Amino acid sequence: MDTMRVLALVLFAIPLLAQHGRYLSDSKNAAIGDPQAIAAGTKLFMGSCAGCHGPDGGGGARGPNLVRRSLWHPLSDDAIFSVIRNGVADMPPTKLSDEQTWSLVAFIHALTGPASTNPVPGDPTAGKAIYWGAKAGCSNCHAVRGQGGSMGPDLSNIGGSRPLAVIREAIVEPAKDLYYLGNEAATVELKNGQTLQGVAKNRSNYSLQLIDTKGTLHLIEMRNVKKLTVSDTTPMPTDFAKRLSRAELRDLLAYLAQQDVRSKESAQ
């Protein structure tokens, strides 16, 4: 087992965790999701925070990557407010006004909160065409509201459950440890001569749960397996950063950001 695989298995639980908690306790402060407040927050962040957390919150020598951290340590808006006001561990307290602090919270929310709750640039209609079109071929592997393939995770709620930065990484750098979800491309040769091909949703030394290329689930006992072939990296294509133009990627993200099981507009 190489290190990446070990990491991947350990990280398998993270996306599940990240869906918990955060949205239940979110504040109703008007700054959240407000483009003006987010813009003001971005400025403040560049001035007071980027030195430690990096210009895009992606982490620096003295402060953690805030997107990555939010996956294992999701914070409510109120908790972010008090972190900014009071500091935490090596992070110093601030003397910003309530309004400034809330605009910073709005920025962090936009960075780490679900994409559907934040303003997102791009044209979702154009993005829809890219998603369902042949060039990107996303729908061959991913379903949205019952349409599409099943080799990759369902994307019906991708905008309602993931920050934009995470969706972007999942598309442009899918093999990066953090966003590798643990789905393994697998070919299974059974002792009875059958061969099954698909994605292993879960496997141990004793059993294997496989979705085949037609989307049918197979419960397999490892005692019945002659040979199992798995890929060392994610089944998600790794060349979308090259295959799609910047504008295409932006529009695609705008479409994905709308996919939210709790918004009527997301019905495709």
Partner 1 sequence: MIRIATLSLLLIGSALAQVRHEDIAQGAGQNWLTYAGTYSGWRYSPLNQINAENTRNVVPKWVYHVPGARGLQSSPIVYQGVLYVTAPNSVYALDGRSGRLIWRYADPRAKSQGPNRGAAIWGDKIYFTTTDNYLVALNRHTGALIFNKQYADVAKGTTSTSAPVIAKGKVIVGSSGGDSGMRGFLMALSADTGEELWKTYTIPAKGEKGSETWGDLIDWGGGATWLSGTYDPALNTLYWTTGNPWPDYNGSVRPGDNLYSCSLLALDLDTGKMKWYFQFTPHDTHDWDAQSWPVLVDTEIAGKPRKIVLHANRNGFFYALDRVTGEFLRATQLIDKVTWAKGIDAKGRPMELPNIEPNAEGNWICPSVKGATNWMGQSYNPGTGLLYVLTLEQCGMFYRSAQQPQPMKNFSGGGATEEGGQVILRALDPKTGKRAWEYPMTGLGRMWTGTVSTAGGVIFSGDDDGNLLALNAKNGKHLWHFNVGEMLTASPITYSIDGKQYVAIASASAVFAFGLFEPAVPIEQPVIEIKKK
Q: Which residues bind ligand HEC (CB under 6 A)?
A: 15, 48-49, 51-53, 62-64, 66, 69, 73, 75, 80, 83-84, 88-92, 94, 104, 108, 136-138, 140-142, 151-153, 158, 162, 167, 170-171, 180-183, 199, 234-237, 240, 252
Q: Annotate each residue in 35-64 with x if it binds partner 1 (CB under 8 A) or - if it does not, as one string.
A: ------------------------------
Tell me which H or E stretch contains 169.
Answer: helix 164-172
CB 72 within 8 A of CB 11: no
Helix (H) or strand (E) holding 143: strand 143-144
From CA 63, how far away is CA 72, in angstroms rounded? Answer: 16
Write down the least CB distance from residue 229 to partner 1, Å.
Answer: 5
Nearest residue (CB) to ligand HEC, 135 versus 227: 135
Nearest CB to partner 1, comparing residues 86 and 231: 231
By C-beta, is 9 or 30 nearer to ligand HEC? 9
The values of phi and psi at residue 200, to 5°, are -80, 120
What are the angstrom distances between the C-alpha of 255 and each of 122, 188, 243? 8, 35, 18
Which is closer to ligand HEC, CB of 147 or CB of 224? Answer: 147
Beta-carbon neighbour count of residue 188 at 10 Å? 24
Question: Whose CA is closest to 255, among 136, 173, 146?
Answer: 136
In the complex, the residues that contact partner 1 under the rule CB under 8 A are: 2, 5, 16, 19-21, 23-24, 143, 145-146, 150, 154, 156-157, 160, 193-196, 201-202, 204-207, 209, 211-212, 214-219, 221-223, 225-233, 238, 261-262
